[in-house]
Structure 1
Amino acid sequence: MKARIPDATPSVDVRRTDTRPVVIVVAGLELAMTTTEALQLADRLVDAAERASLVIS
């Protein structure tokens, strides 16, 4: 199964008092994570973008 939302612009929010303070919101779906999880996700996103740009180039 695939779910795709073509025009969903993600936003990122910080909620310092929450246990999982980094929140990504996409099309109304909130993904809350710890700072460690957020940094790991950021690293994986950068890696994927770099790999994708090598394929496109």
Structure 2
Amino acid sequence: MAKFNYYDRIAQNYDQMLWLTESVTTEIADFMVNLVESNPDTSFLEVGVGTGVNVLPLSSVAMR
């Protein structure tokens, strides 16, 4: 039996309540990638708070 904690139970609701929609996070990711003039060797560090849903657009933009 898997052990769950409080955060496992609220993660889905937490993501749904974020004001950062996919289009907004993609726009932010585009801005960051252009700002640092990233290339395939560029690394980004996300200091994680939450479920990590906001890093998905950054990883897809950075891979372009």
- Note whether the superposition's TM-score is higher than 0.5: no
Higher Rg = 2
Larger RCO (CA within 8 A; separation ≥ 6): 2
Give the TM-score, by structure 2 length: 0.32
Task: Report which of the two has the higher share of helix.
Answer: 2
Give the TM-score, by structure 1 length: 0.35
